[in-house]
Structure 1
Amino acid sequence: MATRLLLDEEPLVILPSLAAAVGLNESIILQQLHYWLERSNHIYEGHKWVYNTYEEWREQFPFWSESTIRRIITKLEKQGFIITGNFNRSKIDKTKWYRINYEKLTQLQDEQSTAQSDTSTVQNEQSTDEIDSPSAQNEQSICSNWTDDPLNLNRPIPENTTEITTEIKKEEVEEDARVRNYKEIIHFYEQNGFGVISDYLREKINAWVDDTSEDLVLEALKIAVENGAKKWVYVETILRDWFEKGYRTVEQVRAAQLAFKEQQAKKRSRKTVRTEMVPDWLNTDYSQYENNKESDDPEELERKRRELEERLKKYRD
């Protein structure tokens, strides 16, 4: 699908309009992905798809770290410009396939055209007002506008420098935190008996970090150690369960674990109440003793005493 926002040529060239709309780094990724999609023979669900590991992406962008590439791609996914899928033969293989959402890019292109058209209309109206004025100063202003109009139509709207600086610093802080957390995952994995991380396993860890978070992957590793199951397949089973249940933070996982423990404790408590033998004394009707006490008269008591003495006498004889 053709769009004026992307190039079909091999060199890594981007359009200023795309960079202004989605960001410089994001536009570089989109342009390179478009390059590979144009040459891809992998067609699924009616679209072309490509797959590159983060390590392979880094070979194409040596000026970025893997964590930076992962962050940029994740951002484009959330914005809807990149769509991911899983077309691997094995269901447990979490490697991602990528395609561009060309429909969304076309929509962005139309929005840009509309914005430029509105800008041109406003400028033309201003020029008309200036033409109506006979002063020499206004004539110079008209000439100036005529000269700048073509440039203004193609020039992206300037952004606030303070906002840009703040955003860059925020991204740098977030990236540094991701790098630290990822290094902690690798260190924990290798120092707690899981073994040495291969390139294949490193890629799977990266995929789970993208789908969940560094904190959740580390939490799953800790649970595996506590349960004495230091195998990646066990860790991946935990992560898959959390992902399917929609847990995205460690706090959500721990809250769910606490709720489960409380539920199990209530079940055990109810089971104990059901199976416990009720003592006989609890069912004794003491009212019958009270009634007998009130109904006995002196003559009846004397008769019972004599009968008891006769039985004892016969027993002695």
Structure 2
Amino acid sequence: MRRRRFLAVACSVVAGCAGTDYRASGPRTLPPEPPTESSSTATVDPVESRAQAVTRPLNEVYRVVRGPLARFEFDDVSRDDQSAARTSLANARDAVTTFSAAVDEIPPRYRSLSTLVTIHEHLLDALTTAVELHSSLATLADDSVDDPQGRLDTPRAMTATLAALASDLTDVVETDPTMPRSVFLTTDRTRALAATLDAQSTAIGRLLDVVERELAASLDWRAGLAAFERAAFADARANFDTAREEYRAAERLLDGGLGTDGSFADLTDRRSCVATAGVEATSVARRAATEADAGDAERAARLLRTAESTRNRCSS
């Protein structure tokens, strides 16, 4: 009889390991679900229940923002992810209002719930802003821009928003809010994310300076091509010279690296390619204008094709 009981217990243990919560491949990427603050699973404490109604949706927000903001990688952040996080944040706001209205004597560990909602709101705003900023810069087409400064007004405003959110996060965490054990976020993680936002907003500001130079150069390039078509070769040379100086200025800004990370590092590599190709292309185009002015139309046309091919090599 004892042997049968032993076998039954052993089988139940094996069955438990094969259940849905068992993972033989190791821990999850995200941190494990923090423990609740409830001291007993048998009795439902209404204060704890209301507190968990705040912290659970905050953890859902954190699941969305933590990876992309820490690494500044935004290619895999979908609109559905952001929408779900917005819904979770709204649920947390409603729950903390209910909590404050219903609980007369708030336990010390839950007195920062409202502050925690604000912190997660800042983080989600930062993620949304960074995704939109990356998309804006990634789709910026050199040859279609007639007003470089105007086209960059919105990205510059979004970069300033990132810097402001970094400052807001730093200010909030300096109030030393209490982080319940049931919340994924910690003060150290908040400080690290604020530092990342601050550093990257500065780096992206430098990237925008590079883009502005390159967009200005593209205007002069187009003006040089138009002058070449009119056989105004002196004007063409002048425009190509001006474009080359703008591209060189962009190269100087890129010297030593900008400090961009993740998705924005990829954009920086692209702008570096554009600047280098632009310097080479404008030099060849200037030679084409000189040859055309000397009467060698065939050689001039060949050089101009080479110049255009060189300038477009970063498009692929």
Superposition TM-score tier, normalisation by shorter sequence: under 0.3
Q: Which structure has the higher relative contact order (CA within 8 Å, separation 6+)?
A: 2
TM-score by length of 1: 0.22
Higher helix content, 1 or 2: 2
TM-score by length of 2: 0.22
